[in-house]
């Protein structure tokens, strides 16, 4: 049996897939299986997967009808044989030493979740950044530490590299014992929801202080860069999940206020993207009406401290519930920005 099962969900990324797969096969740690889920790709991804599998017997390829990234990852989990599970997105790459370092740390500390930093490379600006990690005294975090140290950070909007699934080694037994899966009806924020489900079951969590996973910001290749008309549904779901965590792990109302303030800001960003999208005005008005009539959003903006005059004005208009005025104010802001430039 392999030590690690690496699962890659694949859909229409033929331009980037070879670099991703080559970075996995170039690992200094070699005792792994590579499970490629071709999720109904309409480009050459299927051919690329088959070509790589002919060159390396560690590769398993599953071709299926398109069912979404969560389903693809779950299908990979069904066939995985490794003691540990890893996920890689098909338009990213990993450093050659990633699994050697993470597997060594995981085994040494009997960790059920091992986390490294993510290096984000913005190909628009030519800049790089790396995700934050927990920097407390404890090197190995127990379930008590997770409850008392990690979860409060999350509730204060500091994710300490726990929002993604791709920068981790998970003990496979966690998925099996607790029947944890990616939510297949979700196509946004599925990683963070999985991790928040898993955290209560983790007895030993360890961080590796190295940026071993490479995430690229490119034009039009990432779901996170495509406008989603249904995004407020996911904002609402994630807010509810975090408020539930607040109530389970703390009696402090401050955590709930922090969560609500954060999601008010997220919603205001979505509103601006909505107004600047190509959606017909009728559809924009319908989405705005849903948002400003949502009682949870009303509670959110009551907790929100606006950092700018524009957001103070937007908050005020949302409280009065005027969809047309929201659109006009956002449009005016972007015309002004364009004029100044």
Does residue 226 sit in helix, strand or coil? coil
Length of the chain counted residue by residue? 341
Largest CA distance in the chain: 63
Query: Can you tell me the distance from the alpha carbon of 28 to that of 221, in angstroms, rounded to the nearest whole number?
Result: 29
CA 79 to chain centre: 23
Query: Can you tell me the distance from the alpha carbon of 27 to that of 260, in angstroms, rounded to the nearest whole number?
Result: 42
Query: Can you tell me the distance from the alpha carbon of 308 to that of 83, in angstroms, rounded to the nearest whole number?
Result: 50
- CB-CB contact of 242 with 259 (8 Å): yes
Query: Can you tell me the distance from the alpha carbon of 341 to that of 242, in angstroms, rounded to the nearest whole number?
Result: 39
Q: Which helix (H) or strand (E) holds 173?
A: helix 172-178
Per-residue pLDDT of 279-319, as tens digits, reads 999 999 999 999 999 999 999 999 999 999 999 999 999 99
Q: What residue has token string 């920005």?
A: 337
Q: Which helix (H) or strand (E) holds 241?
A: helix 231-249
Does residue 209 sit in helix, strand or coil? strand
Q: What residue has token string 């050459």?
A: 44
Structure tokens at 341: 């430039």
Structure tokens at 305: 């401290």
**End-to-end alpha carbon distance in the chain:** 59
Q: Where are the domains of the chain?
A: 4-224, 227-340
Does residue 281 sit in helix, strand or coil? helix
Q: In a structure prediction context, what are the per-residue pLDDT tens digits for the chain, which is 341 residues long?
A: 899 999 999 999 999 999 999 999 999 999 999 999 999 999 999 999 999 999 999 999 999 999 999 999 999 999 999 999 999 999 999 999 999 999 999 999 999 999 999 999 988 888 999 999 998 877 899 999 998 899 888 888 788 999 899 999 999 999 999 999 999 876 667 888 899 889 989 999 999 999 999 999 886 544 444 678 888 998 998 899 889 888 887 767 888 999 999 999 999 999 999 999 989 999 999 999 999 999 999 999 999 999 999 999 999 999 988 899 999 999 988 777 666 65
> CB 79: neighbour CB atoms within 10 A?
13
pTM assigned to the model: 0.85
Structure tokens at 333: 């802001």
Query: Can you tell me the distance from the alpha carbon of 298 to that of 304, in angstroms, rounded to the nearest whole number?
Result: 10
Closest Cα to residue 271, out of 328, 222, 223? 328
Query: Can you tell me the distance from the alpha carbon of 105 to that of 306, in angstroms, rounded to the nearest whole number?
Result: 43
Q: What is the CA radius of gyration of the chain?
A: 21
Tell me how far CA of residue 171 lies from CA of 102, 116, 289, in angstroms: 12, 15, 44
What are 61's strand-pairing partners?
A: 36
DSSP state of 32: E
Query: Can you tell me the distance from the alpha carbon of 174 to that of 5, in angstroms, rounded to the nearest whole number?
Result: 14
Surface-to-core class of residue 137, CB atoms within 10 Å of its CB (0-12 exposed, 13-18 middle, 19+ buried):
exposed
- CB-CB contact of 54 with 126 (8 Å): no
CATH topology of domain 4-224: Spore Coat Polysaccharide Biosynthesis Protein SpsA; Chain A (3.90.550)
């Amino acid at each position: 049996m392999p030590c690690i099962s690496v699962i890659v969900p694949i859909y229409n990324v033929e331009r980037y897939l070879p670099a991703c797969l080559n970075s996995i096969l170039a690992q200094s740690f070699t005792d792994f299986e590579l499970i490629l889920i071709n999720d109904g790709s309409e480009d050459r991804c299927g051919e690329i997967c088959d070509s790589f599998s002919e060159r390396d017997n560690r590769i398993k390829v599953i071709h299926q009808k398109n069912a979404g990234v969560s389903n693809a990852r779950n299908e990979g989990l069904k066939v995985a044989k490794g003691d540990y599970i890893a996920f890689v997105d098909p338009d990213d790459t990993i450093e050659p030493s990633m699994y050697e370092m993470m597997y060594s740390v995981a085994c040494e500390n009997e960790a059920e979740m091992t986390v490294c930093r993510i290096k984000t490379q913005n190909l628009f600006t030519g800049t790089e950044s790396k995700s934050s990690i927990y920097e407390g005294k404890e090197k190995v975090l127990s379930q008590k530490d997770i409850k008392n140290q990690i979860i409060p950070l999350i509730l204060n909007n500091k994710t300490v590299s726990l929002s993604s699934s791709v920068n981790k080694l998970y003990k496979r037994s966690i998925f099996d014992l607790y029947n944890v899966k990616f939510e297949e009806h979700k196509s946004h924020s599925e990683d963070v929801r999985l991790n928040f489900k898993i955290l209560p079951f983790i007895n030993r969590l360890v961080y590796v202080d190295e940026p071993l996973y490479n995430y690229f910001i490119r034009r039009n290749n990432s779901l996170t860069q495509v406008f989603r008309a249904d995004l407020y549904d996911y904002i609402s779901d994630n807010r509810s999940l975090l408020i539930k965590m607040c109530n389970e792990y703390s009696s402090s109302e401050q955590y709930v206020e922090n969560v609500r303030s954060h999601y008010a800001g997220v919603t205001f960003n979505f509103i601006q993207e909505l107004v600047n999208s190509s959606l017909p005005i009728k559809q924009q008005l319908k989405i705005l009406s849903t948002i400003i009539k949502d009682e949870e959003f009303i509670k959110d903006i009551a907790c929100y401290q606006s950092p700018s005059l524009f957001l103070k004005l937007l908050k005020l208009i949302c409280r009065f519930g005027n969809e047309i005025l929201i659109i006009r104010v956002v449009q005016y802001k972007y015309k002004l920005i364009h004029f100044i430039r």
